[in-house]
Amino acid sequence: MRDNVTTLTQDQAMPQPVMIETAPGDDIILDVAAACCRFDVSAPALSRLFSHEPRRILRAVENVSFTVKRGTTFSIVGESGCGKSTLARMVVGLQRPTEGKLSFRDIRRADGTIGPPRVQMIFQDPYASLNPRWRVGDIIAEPIRELKLRSDEAAVQQRVGDLLETVGLSRTDASRYPHAFSGGQRQRISIARALATEADFLVCDEPTSALDVSVQAQILNLMVRLQKEFGLTYLFISHNLSVVRHMSDDLAIMYLGRFVEAGPAEQVFTKPQHPYTRLLLDTIPDVERPNRERRPMSGEVPSPISPPAGCTFNPRCAQAANRCRVVRPELRKLGGVEVSCHFA
Amino acid sequence: MTASAAQPLLSVRDLRIVFDGRHGPLTALDGVSFDIAPGEILGMVGESGAGKSLTGTAVIGLLEPPGRIAGGEIHLAGQRIDNLPAEQMRRLRGRRIGAIFQDPLTSLHPLLKVGDQLVETILTHLPVSRAEARKRALDLLKEVGIPAAETRIDHFPHQFSGGMRQRVVIALALCAEPSLIIADEPTTALDVSIQAQITTLLKRLCREHGTAIMLVTHDMGVIAETADRVAVMYAGRIVEIGPVEEVTRRPSHPYTAGLMASIPSVHVRHEHLNQIDGAMPRLNAIPPGCAFNPRCGRAEAFCRENKPGLPLSGHAAACHFPLKEAAHA
């Protein structure tokens, strides 16, 4: 009887190795549910009292929900001030959500351990994100030492050397200082530092926007290769639609703190449904169509402190009707893609 | 000069800029030659450090020591301007050559109202009264598309958004109706939708006023959308020059071709982006022969010894083995 029970539990345990073999992208790694981030930007209480001013709340991120599947790239696209960086900061825990919940699901790693994914961030400016007074070797070794991932110093140095080679630099670069490296090489160092923690989930906030295009191509290719090699999951923040097209499996277009369109990248690019997505795709400069005549989007992004009523995009939208100025459209599912537009 | 029979507005010949450093002189710009016709937009594109901004700085006469012009000539409408005394150059700047820089916040005085900055510039260059200058300032603000210009004229720069500030800077550059504007990364600090507004505005002004623009940017997309001709720079030299459609569709220098192929497309998703391995050489380590030879897949022994020249024709590349014969229009 007792033997039977053991066999039974073993049987139950059996499917688990199969779970590991599920194709990347089947299991959810990050679940963001109705996350909001609001900042109080009011004048000091006393001045408000004298000038009879109400409190002013900046809604950086409003009611954003999405899931990221393991081993895929989820991109967030938007213009400056749309809340994409705030969202990234919430995901890495640098910013607490005012409302809503962000949760990482436990994952099973290649070494058999189960636990929450390790999250790291790659920043936009490789000139500001590396300590100029530290040698590259120490910059990369810091997370290894801090998290006690290697037992002795020789193993740490070995790991640093391996990481440098993984990102396309040489082992001997460990003894040099960041100023000796170009922007692209510095970004490689940032990536090596992120990988040093054995990270599973990388939040990349505009990782290539400070780089020249030919260097950008090198970094993007490196990121794609590392994703395949280590099964990394990327949350990719960018304003550059062609880079996003190249990198993403899924994407969300953000406008004034909300998602206006979200879904599989291929579908959003081939069949954009929200007028903002269409305008964005129409206004990006295109090397493949030189000197085309185009109609630039009029107006500017309104202030997130006093967003327009109804659909926040209505002042810039050519299709806007009375309903758009009063009723805010909710995100609804339209053939695999979520869109918030009354006319989609 | 087969295509344009008319005299070029700006003519740069064999421009050489040298920086005198502690370890001897560094050649930052070497043998740069190009023309800009009246009313034409010439794009200068290249990676950081290629010398594109430096070319613009030299044309406008703002090159500062330790940098100096060590050779070549710059002519504006037939007049040689690279050796003008500082005082004469100062009068020419703003009057005949305008400038637009990348960051609109740093090109405007933060403590002066926008209108006062415009009026001051107009009074410096044009023989008009203060009232006339103010009227002209208002017209300029309207022309560059600033809504409610009558009230906005008395606002400070910090009260404007990035895109609106750049419009003010453009208005400032237009004050004295210059025949040439040097626009150095005018849209880089702006969002894509605002970027499109500014490039459209520049194109319109160019058409309506016949102003020529030298558009310096690292963004090939902006060039493709805006410029008539493009000059691609690499390690202090122009490697390819020609009409925008020709250069972007049929690049003839291997560097241009690599650059074009490394730009991700919005239309299709590729598995792998083409990349040019390595990096642009530093100024103190420019290889002999063709500067691009260590990164070039087509380089032969000949390229490592002989510097390729750049013919002054419709579409030309400084390459011994161009990808195909550059079309001579």
| Residues of chain B positioned with their CB less than 8 A from the CB of A239 | 191-192
B210 is a domain residue: yes
Residue A2 is predicted with a pLDDT of: 40
Q: Based on C-alpha coordinates, what's the Rg of chain A?
A: 23
Three-state SS string across B273-316, please?
A: CCCCCCCCCCHHHCCCCCCCHHHCCCCCHHHHHCCCCCCCCCCE
Strands B41-45 and B67-76: unpaired
Rounded CA-CA distance B39/A163 in Å is 53
Out of A79, A280, A285, whose CB is closest to B224? A285
Residue A295 is predicted with a pLDDT of: 66
Angle at A243 between CA A239 and CA A245, to 5 degrees: 105
Q: What is the DSSP string of B242-281?
A: EEHHHHHHS--SHHHHHHHHTSPPSS---SS-----S-PP
Residue A211 is predicted with a pLDDT of: 85
The alpha-carbon gap from B189 to the nearest alpha carbon of chain A, in Å, equals: 10
> Which band of pLDDT confidence, cut at 50, 70 and 90, is reported for residue A63?
very high
In Å, how far are B37, B85, B181 from B89, measured between CA atoms?
21, 6, 15
Strands A119-122 and A201-205: parallel
Out of A183, A217, A301, whose CB is closest to B262? A217
Amino acid at residue number A236: F
Out of B164, B266, B272, whose CB is closest to A281? B266
B31 is a domain residue: yes
Q: B224 to chain A: nearest residue by CA?
A: A290
A interface toward B at CB cutoff 8 Å?
A: 79-80, 182-185, 212-218, 220-221, 224, 239, 241-243, 245-246, 265-266, 269, 279-281, 283-292, 294, 296-298, 300-301
> Which band of pLDDT confidence, cut at 50, 70 and 90, is reported for residue A293?
low
CB A173 within 8 A of CB A160: no
Q: Which of A51-60, A143-152, B73-82, B147-156 has the lowest mean pLDDT?
A: A51-60
Q: pTM of the entire structure?
A: 0.83
Asked whether residue A339 carries a pLDDT value surpassing 80, the answer given is yes
A183-220 pLDDT tens trace:
889 999 999 999 999 999 999 999 988 888 888 999 99
Could you give the number of structural domains in chain B?
1
Boundaries of domain holding B108: 10-227
Binary contact (B263, A287; C-beta < 8 A)? yes
B317 is a domain residue: no
Contacts of the segment B78-83: beta carbons below 8 A, 24+ positions apart: B78/B7, B82/B15, B82/B58
Rounded CA-CA distance B306/B301 in Å is 9
Residue B1 is predicted with a pLDDT of: 41
Residue A256 CA from chain centroid, whole number: 17
Binary contact (B264, A246; C-beta < 8 A)? yes
Phi-psi region of B206 (alpha: psi -120 to 50; beta: other; left: phi over 0): alpha
Residue B102 is predicted with a pLDDT of: 81
Angle at A270 between CA A264 and CA A274, to 5 degrees: 80
Alpha helices in chain A (DSSP H): 2-13, 15-20, 45-51, 84-92, 136-146, 153-166, 183-195, 213-230, 241-247, 265-270, 275-283, 322-326
Q: Which residue has the higher pLDDT, A107 or A297?
A: A107
B70 is a domain residue: yes
Mean pLDDT of chain A: 86
B318 is a domain residue: no
B67 is a domain residue: yes
Chain B interface, mutation test: which of A244, A246, A276, most B Cβ atoms within 10 Å? Answer: A246
Of B80, B72, B70, nearest in space to B10 by CA: B80
| Residues of chain A positioned with their CB less than 8 A from the CB of B260 | 287
Neighbours of A16 (CB within 10 A): 11
Rounded CA-CA distance A45/B116 in Å is 36
Helix (H, G, I), strand (E, B) or coil at B76: strand
Helix (H, G, I), strand (E, B) or coil at A82: coil
The alpha-carbon gap from B191 to the nearest alpha carbon of chain A, in Å, equals: 6
Is B103 part of the contact surface with chain A (CB cutoff 8 Å)?
no
Q: What is the DSSP string of A143-179?
A: HHHHTT-SSSHHHHHHHHHHHHHHTT--GGGGGS-GG
| Residue labelled with tokens 């033997």 | A3
Residue B6 is predicted with a pLDDT of: 67
Binary contact (B225, A285; C-beta < 8 A)? yes
A217-238 pLDDT tens trace:
999 999 999 999 999 999 999 9
B265 is a domain residue: no
Residue B3 is predicted with a pLDDT of: 44
> Cis link prior to B66 (omega < 30° from 0)?
yes
In Å, how far are A222, A331, B14, B24, B306 from B217, measured between CA atoms?
26, 38, 21, 29, 29
Q: Residue A283's beta-bridge partner residues?
A: none
Asked whether residue A254 carries a pLDDT value surpassing 60, the answer given is yes
| Residue labelled with tokens 């310096």 | B216
Binary contact (A183, B276; C-beta < 8 A)? no
Q: Which of A57-61, A75-79, A291-295 has the lowest mean pLDDT?
A: A291-295
CB B220 within 8 A of CB B259: yes
Q: What is the DSSP string of B133-166?
A: HHHHHHHHHHHTT-TTHHHHTTS-GGGS-HHHHH
Binary contact (B258, A265; C-beta < 8 A)? no
CB B57 within 8 A of CB B31: no
Asked whether residue A25 carries a pLDDT value surpassing 80, the answer given is no
CB A245 within 8 A of CB B266: yes
Is B200 part of the contact surface with chain A (CB cutoff 8 Å)?
yes
Is B42 part of the contact surface with chain A (CB cutoff 8 Å)?
no
Q: A300 to chain B: nearest residue by CA?
A: B194
CATH number assigned to the domain comprising residue B84: 3.40.50.300
Out of B163, B221, B245, whose CB is closest to A300? B163
Asked whether residue A21 carries a pLDDT value surpassing 60, the answer given is no
Out of A185, A217, A291, whose CB is closest to B275? A217
Asked whether residue A146 carries a pLDDT value surpassing 60, the answer given is yes
| Residues of chain A positioned with their CB less than 8 A from the CB of B221 | 284-287
Strands A107-108 and A337-339: unpaired
Binary contact (B275, A214; C-beta < 8 A)? yes
Q: Collect all residues with Cβ–Cβ distance below 8 Å to B111 and sequence separation of at least 6.
A: B156
Rounded CA-CA distance B17/B74 in Å is 12
- ipTM (interface predicted TM): 0.79
Chain A interface, mutation test: which of B105, B187, B193, most A Cβ atoms within 10 Å? Answer: B193
The alpha-carbon gap from A109 to the nearest alpha carbon of chain B, in Å, equals: 26
Out of B164, B259, B272, whose CB is closest to A221? B272
The size of chain A, in residues, is 344
- Intervals of chain B under pLDDT 70: 1-6, 325-329
Helix (H, G, I), strand (E, B) or coil at A14: coil
> Which band of pLDDT confidence, cut at 50, 70 and 90, is reported for residue A294?
low
B267 is a domain residue: no
**How confident is the model over A2-8, as a mean pLDDT?**
37
Q: Collect all residues with Cβ–Cβ distance below 8 Å to B116 and sequence separation of at least 6.
A: none
Rounded CA-CA distance A164/A147 in Å is 19
B298-328 pLDDT tens trace:
888 899 888 898 887 788 899 998 887 544 4
Determine what percent of chain A is predicted with pLDDT higher than 70: 90
Q: A82 to chain B: nearest residue by CA?
A: B191
Is B60 part of the contact surface with chain A (CB cutoff 8 Å)?
no
Of A141, A170, A172, nearest in space to A157 by CA: A141
Binary contact (B262, A214; C-beta < 8 A)? yes
Rounded CA-CA distance B254/B279 in Å is 15
Out of B195, B225, B264, whose CB is closest to A242? B264
CB B219 within 8 A of CB A285: yes
Out of A246, A281, A285, whose CB is closest to B270? A246
